[in-house]
């Protein structure tokens, strides 16, 4: 499976989060999955968005990774999500409404790894999860998993592999 990870950590304050993401990526790589990662803080989202959008063509699972900042996802993550939503919505409008043809762009499954703030409230995490589910629904896909690093790495990998397994099941098996 082709996995694209977009790391929206805006600074170096979250070393433990970065270490968790490195272990997550290495584990998936050792299990035979291709994983490409972008550090959003190193990109100019205006000019470099084309690299991310180009990678989406071959992506089966898009994983957003972000620390919680003031009870929300990072601004970097929010901005890239808005660009991705716009990209898929524009493609859908052109494909569906004007030509009557189905969309040509594959919309990947979504996943989220969020580092909660030290003093977070459960409702803040729930609101972020619901927000991510809504974002995925707006472009016709689903939020396949939402994990936090306070869960074990094994649980994060298990959640990822569950969506990979479901994604690889043939459609006729599901409907037949």
Query: What is the structure's pLDDT at 173?
Result: 40
CB neighbour list of residue 69: distance below 8 Å, 6 or more residues apart: 10, 75, 117
Query: What is the structure's pLDDT at 98?
Result: 54
Query: What is the structure's pLDDT at 93?
Result: 57
Can you give the pTM of this predicted structure? 0.85
d(CA 106, CA 93): 14
H-helix segments, the chain:
15-30, 45-56, 75-92, 122-138, 153-168, 171-175
Contact between residue 42 and residue 7 where contact means Cβ atoms under 8 Å apart: no
CATH topology of domain 2-175: Rossmann fold (3.40.50)
Rounded to whole angstroms, what are the CA distances from 47 to 43, 44, 50, 137? 8, 6, 7, 27
Rounded to whole angstroms, what are the CA distances from 147 to 23, 43, 49, 91? 14, 25, 26, 29
Contact between residue 64 and residue 81 where contact means Cβ atoms under 8 Å apart: yes
Helix (H) or strand (E) holding 7: strand 2-7
Query: What is the structure's pLDDT at 87?
Result: 86
- What is the block-wise mean pLDDT of the chain (176 residues), using blocks of 10 residues? 93 86 94 93 87 90 94 93 87 56 69 90 91 89 91 89 62 41
CB neighbour list of residue 62: distance below 8 Å, 6 or more residues apart: 3, 4, 6, 56, 84, 108, 109, 110, 111
Question: How do the domains of the chain map onto residue ranges?
Answer: 2-175
**Backbone φ, ψ for residue 98 (5° rounding):** -95, -35
């Amino acid at each position: 499976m082709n996995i694209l990870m977009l790391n929206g950590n805006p600074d170096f304050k979250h070393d433990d989060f970065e270490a968790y993401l490195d272990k997550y990526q290495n584990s998936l790589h050792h299990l035979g999955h291709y994983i490409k990662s972008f550090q959003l803080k190193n990109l100019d989202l205006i000019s470099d968005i084309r690299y991310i959008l180009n990678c989406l063509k071959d992506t089966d699972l898009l994983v957003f990774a972000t620390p919680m900042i003031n009870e929300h996802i990072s601004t970097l993550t929010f901005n890239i999500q808005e660009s991705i939503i716009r990209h898929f919505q524009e493609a859908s409008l052109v494909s569906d409404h004007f030509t009557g043809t189905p969309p040509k762009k594959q919309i990947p499954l979504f996943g989220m790894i969020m580092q909660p703030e030290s003093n977070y409230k459960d409702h803040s995490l729930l609101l972020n999860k619901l927000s991510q589910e809504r974002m995925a629904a707006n472009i016709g896909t689903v939020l396949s998993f939402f994990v936090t690093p306070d869960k074990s790495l094994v649980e994060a990998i298990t959640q990822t592999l569950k969506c990979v397994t479901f994604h690889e099941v043939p459609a006729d098996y599901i409907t037949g």
